[in-house]
Chains A and B, each alone.
Chain A
Amino acid sequence: MGYTKEQLLAHLQELRIDFIKYDHPVVLTVEAQAKYVGNVGSALSKNLFLKDKKHRYYIISALPETKVDLKVLSQRLGLGKGGLRMAPEEALGEILQVPLGCVTPFSLVNESARNVSLLLDQGFKSQESCIFHPLANDTSISLQAIDLDAYLISIGREPIYVDLEATPKVGKDQPPDLAAFAPSESIALPDYAEKIPPSESLPKSHVPTNSKPKEVKVAKPAKATTAKVAKVEKEKEKSLVGSVPLAPFSDVDQFAEEILNKTSALLLSEITEDSIKQHGEELGSMVSNTIRKRLSNELKNLAVMFKNTSYTEGFSAGIHYQQKQDSHLWGNTLDL
C-alpha cells in the first residue's frame, strides 16, 4: 500500500533532513492551509496533478503566486496546445496514493508514481524554506529546497526546477524546451470517465491565485466542448479573475480590521516596561504621536487603494449599464 506520513517523516529523519512539522486540521486548499502555517516564515506551495492525452502524469509544484498557464506549459512540454488537463480525482488515489487536496512532491516515493514527472518552481530556490504536505492533509512540513532535492535523489528521482512563468516561443525552429521532462511511459488506469465536469471550472476562492487540484480552473480540451462555449467560459473566467478585487481593499470589514490590526500591533510594541518607566504619564501622548508618525503614510496608502477599488467598481458598473442601455436602445430600434 501507499507510504504513510509516519514512514515518510521517519525516512526524512534517517536522511538527517531538517524539517519543521506543523499539525493542523485537515485542509484542502492553499488558502485554508495558509490560515495555519501562512505566517511561519516559509513559502507555501500549490501543487497541481496533471495528465496529458497519452495518459502520462505530472506534478507541478509552485509558489502560490507563480502563474501557471497550462496552455503554455503544455506547449513547452511538447504536448501541443491544450494537451494538459487536471488529472481526475481517481488518479490521485491510484497513482499518487494521497487523499484529495494532498498533492505533494513526496508522493513520488510510491512505486505507482514511478512514471510521474515532477516540475518544481525555480522560485522555491530563492525561498528560505518551503511548505509541503507529507502525504497527509492534517500536517505540513517546511524544509529547504536543497533538502527536498536530497530526498528526491534518495528515492531515485531527479529534482527539476523550471521557470514556470516563462513563455518561450515554441515552433518550427524552437523545440519545446521542457519536452525532455515528459514521462517516458504512460500509466494505464482502470477506465474512468474522461469527461471533466464543467462546473468545476469557475474559481470559488476570493483570491485569484488558486490552490489544490479541486479548485483550479480546468483547461478545456478543444474537442469536448464547442469552441464558442469554451471561449465564453474563458472570457467569464478571465473577467471573474480580473473583477474580483483583493480584500481588504474592497471589503469594508477587512479594511477596518487591517487598520485596527496595524494600530494595535504598534501600540502593543510601544507599550513596554521600559517605555512605561521612561514616560510615565506622558506615555499616552508619546505613543499616540509615534502611531501617527509611523502609521500615517501606511494608512493613507491603504485608504487610497480602497478608494481606487471602489471607484473602479462603480466605473465598470456604469460602463456595463451604459452598454446595456445602448443595446436596449438598438434592440428597440431594430424591432420597429
Chain B
Amino acid sequence: MVCLGRICPDMLINGPIDANPYSIRLNSDGRTGAVAAISAQPPESFSASLLRSLLLLLLLLQSDTFDESCESGGMENENETNTEPVEAEVNPWEVSGKIDYDKLIDKFGCQRLDQSLIDRVHRLTSRPPHVFLRRGVFFAHRDLNEILDAYERGDKFYLYTGRGPSSEALHLGHLVPFMFTKYLQDAFKVPLVIQLTDDEKCMWKNLSVEESQRLARENAKDIIACGFDITRTFIFSDFDYVGGAFYKNMVKVSKCVTYNKVVGIFGFTGEDHIGKVSFPPVQAVPSFPSSFPHLFSGKENLRCLIPCAIDQDPYFRMTRDVAPRIGYHKPALIESSFFPALQGDTGKMSASDPNSAIYVTDTPKEIKDKINKYAFTGGQDTKEKQRLYGANLEVDIPVKYLSFFLDDDDELEYIKQEYGSGRMLTFDVKKRLIDLLTELVERHKRARATVTEEMVDAFMAARPLPSMFS
C-alpha cells in the first residue's frame, strides 16, 4: 500500500470495497486501481463525493513520490483484478515465477546497491569487497548509506540474520546469506546475532516442537561451519530465547501493527491460526539492541544491519515502520537475489527436490552427476553448433553458479568470453564448476565435522561478548 505522506496509513485499509467508501485499493502502478475502485462505489452524498475527489487528487499528486518512510505494507495484492500478466510471487513463504529484480526493487521500495556503495565498502573495510557484492548477488539495500556514515564516525553496528530450520538438508542457496554475513562480520569487525526460527517452522510446516528444536541445532552446526567467530556471534533459537527483554519488545511491536495491516502484508486469512498471525514480531525484534540485554545493555543507540534474501523484505518493512514509533533506529537491510535452481532460472532452490540443488552433504560424485545431468545450460546441442554460435549466457546455470562462487574476476570474464563465443564447450565450464563446488562442499564438511555439541552450546549460550567490537 502507498501511504499519503502524513495521512495515517491505517486509514487506507485493505478491506473489501463496499465496507468503506473511502477505501482505495492501489495497484502497483498507482492509478488505474484507484479509479476502478472508485467507480464501483455506491451512490453517495455531495460532501462525501467532494471529500473523495480531494483524496483522489491528493493520490494522483502523490503517486509518483513513494514516501520512503511509509513504505510499510504489502504489495502482494493477489485479489486484485489486474490488467498485468501473472506476476512472480515473492513472499517469505513462497518464491515462484520468473523474477524481475528491478521491478521487485520498485515494488518493495528499496534501493539498488550501486558501484559507488561497493567502492565505499571497499574503502571503509580496507579489503576487496566480497564476490557477492562484486557480482550483484547482494543487489538491494535500505539505509546502507546511513550505516556506513555512522561507521565512519566511529559508531559501530551489529549484524542480524537468521534461518528457518525446516529441514536438515542444507543446500548452497542456504549458505549464501551466511557466507556473506561472515564476510561482513570479518570486514567490519562487528557482532552478529543469528535467529533460528524453530517456532515459525513448527507452525508453518507443522513439525513437533522437539523436531523443530532438533533441526535448529543441526542447522546451527552447518551455520557455525561457515566460519563465524565465536567471540562475536550469538546464535539463538526462538523456543529457548523468547522471553524477558526480547518479549517486551515483541509486545511493543505488536501494539503498533493492526490485524488488518499484518493481513495486508503477509496475506493471512481467517483460516490461519493465531500463532501465524502473531509471529511477525518475533522476527522483527532482533533488529533492536535492547532485545539482547546480555550483549548490548547500555548501547540502546546501536544500529542494526540485516543481510537477507529479498523475500524477507516484508518482515522488515513492517519493522522499519514500527521502529520510530517505539523510539528505535530503523534497521538497515542488504538484500540478495535468489540462488537459481539447477534446472533453471525460475524460482529458487527447494529443499524438497534433491536434484534442484547441491547439498552440503553431497559426495564429489553426486556433485559431478548433478551438474552434468541436471544443470540447465545455455550451450548449443552439438559441438559444431557450439563452436559456431556460442552459448547463451543469460540462461546458462553453470556460468551463473560460477559467478556466485568463482572469486577470480579475470577468470570468470575469460570463461564468459570463451564460452559465449563458442571457443569453450559446456563440458569445460561444467568441469570448472564441479571442481569449485566440490572444493567448497568438502571444506564445509570438514569444518562441520569439527563442530561439537559443546561448541553449539557455547555459541547458543546467552553470554557476554566482551571483544565483539575489537
Which residues of A line the B interface, CB within 8 A? 126-128, 242-243, 245-246, 249, 298, 300-301, 304-305, 307-309, 311-313, 315-316
Contacts and interface: CB of A to CB of B under 8 A. Distances in A.
Contacts of A300: 186, 227
B450 interface: yes
Contact of A307 (B186, B230, B366, B461): B230
Size range of the chain B interface in the assembly: 20 to 34
Given A245-B452, A315-B454, 7 more contacts: A127-B363, A127-B365, A245-B455, A308-B450, A309-B455, A311-B230, A313-B454
23 contacts: A126-B363, A127-B363, A127-B365, A242-B453, A245-B452, A246-B449, A249-B450, A300-B227, A301-B227, A301-B443, A301-B447, A305-B227, A305-B447, A307-B230, A308-B230, A308-B450, A309-B452, A309-B455, A311-B231, A313-B454, A315-B463, A316-B457, A316-B458
A312 B455 contact: yes
B67 interface: no
Nearest to B408: A293
Given A249-B450, A301-B227, A304-B227, A312 B458 contact: yes
Given A307-B230, A308-B224, A308-B229, A242 B447 contact: no
Contacts of B229: 304, 307-308
Contacts of B458: 311-312, 315-316
Nearest to A302: B447
Contacts of A242: 452-454
Contact of B231 (A127, A301, A307, A309): A307
A301 B363 CA distance: 21
B452 A243 contact: yes
Interface string B360-385: 00010110000000000000000000
A237 to B, nearest CB: 13
A128 B363 CA distance: 11
A4 to B, nearest CB: 34
A312 B186 CA distance: 20
Contacts of A307: 229-231
A308 B454 CA distance: 11
A308 B223 CA distance: 13
Contacts of A305: 227, 447, 450
Interface of B: 186, 224, 227-231, 363, 365-366, 443, 447, 449-450, 452-455, 457-458, 461, 463
A309 B230 CA distance: 9
Given A301-B443, A315-B461, A309 B450 contact: yes
Contacts of B461: 315
A126 B365 CA distance: 7
A212 B314 CA distance: 54
Contacts of A308: 224, 228-230, 450, 455
Contacts of A313: 454
Contacts of B363: 126-127
Nearest to B455: A312
Contacts of A126: 363, 365-366
Nearest to A243: B454
Most B Cβ at <10 Å: residue of A249, A300, A308, A316: A308
B231 to A, nearest CB: 6
A83 B231 CA distance: 45
Most B Cβ at <10 Å: residue of A245, A305, A316: A305
A305 B169 CA distance: 22
A304 B461 CA distance: 19
B248 to A, nearest CB: 28
Contacts of A127: 363, 365
Contact of A312 (B228, B443, B454): B454
A245 B448 CA distance: 11
A246 B231 CA distance: 20
Contacts of A128: 365
Contacts of A249: 450
Contacts of B449: 246
B388 to A, nearest CB: 34
Nearest to B463: A315
A127 B364 CA distance: 9
Contacts of A316: 454, 457-458
Contacts of B453: 242
Contacts of B452: 242-243, 245, 309, 312
A300 B231 CA distance: 15
Contacts of A311: 230-231, 458
A209 to B, nearest CB: 9
Contacts of B230: 307-308, 311-312
Contacts of B463: 315
B33 to A, nearest CB: 50
